Amino acid sequence: MMKAGVVSNLAAYEATTPEAFRHGMRRLAGACTIITSANGSGASEGWVGLAATALSSVTADPPRLLVCVNRNVWAHKAITASGVLAVNVLGKAQESILGRFSGAGICAPEEKFHVGNWRTGVTGAPLLGEALVSFDCAVTETIAASTHDIFLADVLEVHAQDNVVDPLIYFNGTFLG
């Protein structure tokens, strides 16, 4: 339990700056993922995706993840409309695929899925066959958090590679693997 004096002292402090926060978060290594969804058409032309490191396991029973997505990206609209998403965790060998889904956007949105072995998961979301692991999920709850939404998603299927080597990690602005 927190002491009353601590709480009253915290009121005198303002939140850190976004720049200082981003600088600090660069010191937190994160798995590189491609979050995908489908706009409901059932065809690969309706697939959307974005590169992300803002996700976490919530519980194992039931299997549940949380995924944070900026409301301004097109994939957010598809996730909200369809209620499904997939988390594709990448290895070093998929770094070039990740670039297609990053904010830098090295290709047009309709070309993102032209590289890699993509298939449709049980939810309709795209799964990358070469991913270290793919989690196919149904969104169960959405929580507003400033510029982002936190999607709580139940994992319906897990597709994992047996020979896991060289995960792709993002640390201090650099990809490691």
pLDDT of residue 4: 54
The half-sphere exposure of 16 on its side-chain side, counting CA atoms within 13 A, is 8
Please determine, looking at this structure, whether the domain spanning 15-176 carries the CATH number 3.30.420.10: no
Alpha helices, DSSP H, located in the chain: 4-10, 18-25, 74-82, 95-101
- In the predicted model, is pLDDT for residue 3 greater than 60? no
Q: What is the pLDDT of residue 137?
A: 98
Binned at pLDDT 50, 70 and 90, residue 83 comes out as: very high
In the block, tokens 């301004």 appear at 72
Tell me if 25 sits within 8 A of 170, measured CB to CB.
no
d(CA 172, CA 140): 32
Q: What is the pLDDT of residues 7-19, one digit of tens each?
A: 566 666 778 888 9
Q: Tens digit of pLDDT for each residue in 101-159?
A: 987 667 777 789 999 999 999 999 999 999 999 999 999 999 999 999 999 999 999 99
Q: From the CB of residue 2, how many other CB atoms can be counted at a distance below 10 Å?
A: 7
DSSP string, 56-97: EEEEETTEEEEEEEETTSHHHHHHHHH-EEEEEEPBGGGHHH
pTM: 0.87
